Amino acid sequence: MIASYDQVHEERVGDNDFVFITNNGDSQYQGKSSTLLLRGASDFVLDEAERSVHDALCATSRALESGSVVGGGGCVEAALSLHLEEFATSHRGREQVAILAFAEALMIIPKTLALNAALPDVPALVAELRVAHTRGNATAGLDLSKGEVTFSSGKSRP
């Protein structure tokens, strides 16, 4: 047997009729495949949505193949900023100023994430992220849905 299904029905989506074949029961094929139906107001919007889905699927595929992901929520930027601040102490003059300026600029990423998520008290949240990394929590990042610093949200987004 190639596949099994529970229901076949025709449904109108927008101006088009589609045949949907669904499997809602217990089957060895349950959850093995999915279909995405993309719609857009124009061909340009639809093409952009298709490219976005393709990029997301490719990124997810690569992450599953490699078995590793990079932390989000400003995690990488905060860690790199702290390492650069330490590195700057081994330099003098203009080099030190440039390294410190870049370290400071990296912290704009978590700040912008928090601002775009309309989180309250962004400076305190970014400071808390820096403190977490200073204490050795290398996986600390901002959880924008909860508005707090988290060490492992369990979410992976391409």
Write down the pLDDT at residue 40: 83
Q: What is the largest CA-CA distance in the chain?
A: 73
SS3 of residue 25 by DSSP: coil
Mean pLDDT for 74-93 is 96
Q: If you classify domain 75-150 with CATH, what class do you get?
A: mainly alpha
Write down the pLDDT at residue 70: 81
Query: Which structure tokens are listed for 144?
Result: 């924008």
Question: What is the rounded average pLDDT for all residues in the chain?
Answer: 86
pLDDT tens readout for residues 104-144 = 999 999 999 999 999 999 999 999 999 999 999 988 999 99
Mean pLDDT for 3-23 is 77
Find out whether 8 and 20 touch, Cβ atoms under 8 Å.
yes
Give the whole-number percent of the chain exceeding pLDDT 70: 86
SS3 of residue 108 by DSSP: helix
The DSSP bridge partners found for residue 89 are none
**Highest-scoring range by mean pLDDT, 43-47, 67-71, 123-127:** 123-127
